[in-house]
Amino acid sequence: MKYQVLLFYKYVLVDDPQAEKQKQLDYFKKYNLKGRMIIAKEGINATLEGEITDTESYIQEMSKDKRFADIHWKKSEGNGKSFPKINIKVRPEIVSLGLKHDDFDPNQISGKYITAEELHDLYESGAEFYVIDMRNDYEQKVGHFESALLMPMKNFRELPELIESISHLKDKLVVTTCTGGIRCEKASGFLVKHGFTNVYQLYGGMHSYIEKYPDQHF
């Protein structure tokens, strides 16, 4: 048997997170999937594993729902042992910034998408732009984009404390980057909310770029 791991997220309005939790639980059981999922009113975030035929059936099932039809699925080979059980939780956010009173809905406020190809073209053009790495410092040490601004974070929730350090870029073209896209999206909205005027987010995160340009500008 061949197994597959799916990693995905989607910022989209989920009117009833508890009802969505039950629906997802039914899907997990129907397709023999294991993994973890966070559901909030602002969207869904998950990593799961199953046999390839089952994970592909799950993708088809999800694609029938117009809210999830354009999810960017990240697929990798599994071993059938990535997750011991089903873990689906309802929370206030699908990725936590801990903003409390300063929180916002990424479905309403976010940066514009930039594709891997478009970012590569920016690098090749020599235009002025700034890549802001929204991962933690451990991830940054593994590798990062050429000339990226590395936010000195142990945890994504530290971003609000660091935004003043990049305030001089409010009128510059900035691109938020992260591993898979979810933190880029939340971070881009946070920058827009705080007065940054030309904000982009890397669609699909660094994974999407490295797949196409593994040895260029990284």
Total residues found in the chain within this entry = 218
Reported as a pLDDT band with limits 50, 70 and 90, residue 101 is low
Model confidence band, residue 215 (pLDDT cutoffs 50, 70, 90): confident
For 93, 135, 171, 177, 217, the CA distances from 45, given in Å and listed in that order, are 10, 17, 31, 17, 29
Chain center to CA of 25: 22
Decide: 54 and 33 in contact? Cβ < 8 Å. yes
User: For 196-204, what is the mean pLDDT?
Assistant: 96
Q: Delimit the CATH 3.30.70.100 region(s) of the chain.
A: 3-90
pTM value surpassing 0.75: yes
- 178 as an active site residue: the answer is yes
Superfamily (CATH) of domain 100-212: Rhodanese-like domain (3.40.250.10)
What distance in Å separates the CA atoms of residue 85 and residue 36, rounded to the nearest whole number?
Answer: 8
More confident residue, 24 or 102: 24
Domain with CATH 3.40.250.10 in the chain: 100-212
**For the domain 3-90, what is the CATH code?**
3.30.70.100
Catalytic pick among 122, 178, 184, 192: 178
When pLDDT is cut at 50, 70 and 90, the band that residue 58 belongs to is very high
Read off the pLDDT band of 157 (50, 70, 90): confident
